Amino acid sequence: MPHSLSPESTPAGESSREMSQAEDIKPEPETQDATMEDAPSPPAPAPTEKSRVNLEELFDDDDSDGEFASSAPVKSEEEASQPAPLKITSRSSFSDPEIMRAFYQRLFPFRYLFQWLNHSQTPANDFAHREFAFTLPNDAYLRYQSFPTADLLRKQCIQMLPSRFEIGPMYSTNPRDRKTLRKASAFRPLMKELVFDIDMTDYDDIRTCCTGASICHRCWVFITMAIKVVDIALREDFGFSHILWVYSGRRGAHAWVCDKRARLMDDQKRRAIAGYLELLKGGDQGGKKVNVRRPLHPHLERSLDILKEHFQTSILAEQDPWASSEKSSHLLNLLPDPTLRAALQKKWDSAPNRASASKWADIDTLAKSGALSKTSKELLEAKQDIVLEYTYPRLDAEVSKKLNHLLKSPFVIHPGTGRVCVPIDTRRVEEFDPLGVPTVTQLLQEIDEWKCEEGEKKVQDWEKTSLKPYVDYFRKFVAGLMEEEKPALKRERQEGADAMEF
Amino acid sequence: MIRHDYSRVDSKRRANLSHKKKQFAKAEFQEQTYEHRLNFYVLPPTAEITLEEFEQWAIDRLKVLSELEACTFRNKGPEETAEYMKSILEKYLPMRSGTSKGQHLHEERKKDHYSHFILRLAFSATEDLRRRFSRLETMLFQLRFKDDDHIERQKFVRSLNLEWEEVQEAEKRELKEKLLAAAGGGMRNREEQEWFKVDWERVPLLVEQRRVFLKRGKAYVPQREQMSLVVAEFTKTLDEALELTSRALPRLDEDDRLAPILAHLSQSFTAPDAAYSSSDANIDGLSTLTANSIDTLSQNFPLCMRNLHTTLRENSHLKHFGRLQYTLFLKGIGLSLDECIIFWRRSFKLMTDDKFTKEYRYNIRHSYGDVGGDSNRRGRGYTPYSCQKLLTEPLPGPGQTHGCPYRTFTPDNLISVLQRVGVNERDVLKTVREDVGKQRYHVACNRVFEWSHKREIKKVKDDGSWNATDLDTIVHPNTYFKRSWLLKHLGEGNAGIVNGGSGDTMEE
Ligand SMILES: [Zn+2]
């Protein structure tokens, strides 16, 4: 079957290049800015406050306080941060405090993040009662943070310079007040997006191109396949439409299902969806991982249709998962027919380096030539199970099952790679290149290199960088979500009135 | 909607279950017609019943629920439970299908209806009781739903007006392949090939197991999965109603007749009460008991009595309540007064004859009804204590050993005592620990019984020599002994039948 991936996104010279996560990033901070050198390490508040003020004086011509607090079409956060005298080169380390500070000040789209979680421009409890959890530079983990407005979140980020932060549920009361409540039951999670976490670690037993934290374009296909299968199920089967996929910054992806119907689900319903999508059972020692009944459930039938093309190219050709005899014995174990197994074993013993694609083809060839003691239907089903074992999404289901589970925010920086956790446009999921995702140092450099043209209106910092398409995508996504919540609000009021009457 | 202030009792000792004050409620007194065998219990009862009926019906339903609970704790599967419950339901809460018209039908349904509402009052006081009640009522409903007549069930489901959209022919044709695939095949007859469309959130378990086809948020539920929908709806309705009832409860305190009954009922939820039956003393194959037999027989004693026996042997003494509990039990298993006096005299071996005669002998005779007032003698003394009696009396003080060890011992001590008497399977001990943690002491005791007699129980079940009633949940220490002894002496001339008793193969 032909490979359906678009080759443009993976230039031949680069496709097999492994990405070492520390590549190009040398830990030599190049700080040419006096205020930067003053920057103390957080979270010592007083001096940080001082340096914050200095920085803002340096970058801002307006005071940005409160500008994210409402829908008022005033200055945006980005306006608050130009012009930019900060010089950052690729030799700066992405975890330097000044880099992180500049990132939160100039690039992080707090305004859209606020709108995304608040579902409206006007500050409301949807945002104010949300839990944020900060991971500080000294690895301290601060839970139950909450913020009335985007700007206060931004301020705390600039002050504490978290290496990343996570987003939890919206609670019945402000998370910061949880200890002052008389009854513990008064503090309970009310809603959160349904989330998914797909991580390459779960593919380590079938991934041959890379190990550990490294990824390349070949293995990224595992994540692409997972996104395709999960996304379509969430849309077609469950009827969700506001699904945000986000690159996790290294070797995986997260999904945020933001439809109100999804946000309100209790744990039982989250478990139901996780279970519906989960297929592989058993650990590395468990033998056959896919055991599904026939006829295949329509969701699995559809998934198989999507996945079998990838299987030919991405798995058989690129991963070559059964090259060694040790690996091919696993393949044999997955076949139900002892006669066929023996025949294949014999054949492969005499040709030790036979490629996986040929071995896969051998199964049918030998079966046809009579080495089959069971029915061809059984063989077909076993082969389908194998395709699923090597391609079907491997979800970290526990993440999805709990309303109060926290997940890393979009647009934060992965502390190991310096890459921004950007959204993935599912309409062009196959073009997404994790190795092409900008790093924070690269972005700040792009701001510096940007040349203001005569007569052009003020341009926000993120617009000067390769982060622009990602922020644009996010902005549109959030706008779509807010649009849908608007009539819902009205409808609720209407229904409320009806109920009163009743 | 449901109101819960149907608690007035008029002066003629009638429980008036009206849901409005009498003067406004004339029309409400019209009796319900009970068109369906199954009932969602949405409408509260409106007619009058006697106080005796009130109590008896509630006790009968309680018996059924307790047995159901016992089934779950013993991990009986659905089929096994249904089989086990058959005779119990037939005895306490029979419900015939609509084809057998007549007054009986009406009476059965009325009893079902009323007893449900009475227990609702009794069990809405605490969160824990509400949960248990809801779970057991759901089980009962499911049990009945399953064996309901196909057509009648269909009518009942329609009458519920649940918001289910039936999948029309055109859509069925369009989606047929997918619908069949999701249902996992195996739909042979046309009748089964019907589907409902509901929001998927209403059938999370079916979704989790991929047993329904999903399309844009709707789950296509096959007819045969209908039960889980109806049952979920039943639970939801009941849970909401119980919440309301609990809020309405304080008003019941005004009533001096219902309150004690209801209190008693909710107490009995600990263990169903069982009167001692003299037949428990009449054991086929067990020769006349003597004081000497007790040591051997104590192996067949429930833990409460075995503990007393061990303590007695260790200390050569037992305190008053322990003595009373044990004496009545021994009387219950058939030990004569004379032998009983001998037993105690020998057991208190550090005591002088004089002291024994003065201080103890009389009490033993009193327990046997040999002395005391007329009523005591007429009633042949006290009745052996039931599990419920042991579970509801005050906890023993220092040095006292009476009561039910499952309740009075700390879990750690209980486990080590059980191990000492040979209960050594870790799973059993673990579940016993859980049982007592949830205050299901009689369930723990029954579990231990079943484990200690599992081979014998299997045998009598397999050869059909014992029926389900013979293996009812044990709620009386004397039943425990009798059943244990019979099971351990199978094939020794006793057939495991209650009455008669000519055998003499008393084994040492
Ligand atoms: Zn790779």
Quote the mean pLDDT of chain B: 80
Alpha helices for A32-161 (secondary structure H): 34-38, 45-59, 97-102, 110-118, 125-128, 150-160
What is the mean pLDDT of the segment spanning A51-66?
35
Highest mean pLDDT among A184-188, A387-391, B191-195: A387-391
Peptide bond into A295 cis (omega under 30): yes
Of these ranges, A171-175, A458-462, B485-489, the one predicted with the greatest mean pLDDT is: A171-175
What does the pLDDT read at residue B101? 63
The answer, yes or no, to whether residue B462 has pLDDT greater than 80, is yes
Inter-chain CB proximity A295 and B204 less than 8 Å? no
Here the tokens at position B201 are 């959130």
Q: Which two tokens stand for residue B218?
A: 């709707």
pLDDT band for position B292 (cuts 50, 70, 90):
confident
- Ranked by mean pLDDT, which of A276-285, B54-63, B96-105, B485-494 comes out on top? B54-63
Asked whether residue B496 carries a pLDDT value surpassing 50, the answer given is no
Q: Strand (E) positions, A40-193? A: 130-135, 141-145, 164-171, 189-191
The Cα–Cα gap between B112 and B58 comes to 9
Question: Worst-scoring range by mean pLDDT, A460-464, B37-41, B129-133, B395-399?
Answer: B395-399
- B207–A contact, CB cutoff 8 A: yes
With H, G, I as helix, E, B as strand and everything else as coil, classify residue A7: helix
Which residues, by Cβ under 5 Å, contact ligand 1, an ion? A 209-210, 216, 218-219
- For residue A243, with 0-12 CB atoms within 10 Å meaning exposed, 13-18 middle and 19 or more buried, which class applies? buried
Residue B126: CB atoms within 10 A of its CB come to 11
Contact A276 B180 (CB under 8 A): no
In this structure, the dihedral spanned by the alpha carbons of residues A199, A200, A202 and A207, taken in order and rounded to 10 degrees, is 170
Span from the CA of A333 to the centroid of ligand 1 (angstroms): 25
Most A CBs within 10 A among B1, B179, B187, B200, hence the mutation to make, goes to B200
pLDDT for res A84: 46
Statement: residue A443 has pLDDT above 70: yes
Tokens of B460: 């009598």
CA distance to partner chain A, nearest, from residue B213 (Å):
7
Inter-chain CB proximity A272 and B205 less than 8 Å: yes
The verdict on a CB contact (< 8 Å) between A237 and B205 is no
**How many other C-beta atoms can be found within 10 angstroms of the C-beta atom of residue A381?**
16
Tell me how far apart the alpha carbons of residues A447 and A460 are, in angstroms, rounded to a whole number: 10
Q: Which helix (H) or strand (E) holds B307?
A: helix B303-315
| Closest-CA distance of chain A to residue B183, Å | 8
Ligand 1 centre distance from Cα of residue A301 (Å): 27
Phi, psi dihedrals of residue A325, rounded to the nearest 5°: -70, -30
> How far apart are the C-alpha atoms of B494 and B504, rounded to whole Å?
10
Report the SS3 class of residue A473.
helix
**3-state secondary structure at position A347:** helix
What pLDDT was estimated at residue B294? Answer: 92
Question: What are residue B214's phi and psi, to 5 degrees?
Answer: -115, 140
Dump pLDDT digits (tens) for B340-381. Answer: 999 999 899 888 888 888 888 888 888 888 876 665 666 677
Cβ-Cβ contacts under 8 Å, B210 against chain A:
275-276, 297, 299-300
pLDDT exceeds cutoff 70 at B277:
no
CA distance B162 to A27: 66
Q: Which two tokens stand for residue A362?
A: 């051998």
Judge whether B236 is closer than 8 Å to chain A, CB to CB: no
Task: Give the percent of chain B with pLDDT over 90.
Answer: 28
In this model, does residue B123 exceed pLDDT 50?
A: yes
- A303 contacts in B (CB within 8 Å)? none
- If you count residue pairs, one on A and one on B, with CB atoms under 8 Å apart, how many are there? 57
- Give A487: exposed, middle or buried? Use CB within 10 Å, 0-12, 13-18, 19+: exposed
Closest partner CB to B214 (pick from A238, A294, A300): A238
Q: How far away, in angstroms, is A219 Cα from ligand 1 center? A: 4
Q: Calculate how close chain B gets to A395, using CA atoms only, in Å.
A: 15
- What's phi and psi for A169, nearest 5 deg? -80, 170
Q: With contacts defined as CB-CB under 8 Å, which chain B residues touch A280? A: none
Count the alpha carbons within 13 Å of B159 in the hemisphere toward its beta carbon.
15
H or E segment to which residue B218 belongs:
strand B218-222
A197: which strand partners? Answer: A254
User: How far does chain A reach from its first CA to its final CA, in angstroms?
Assistant: 61
Helices (H) and strands (E) in chain B, counts: 23, 7
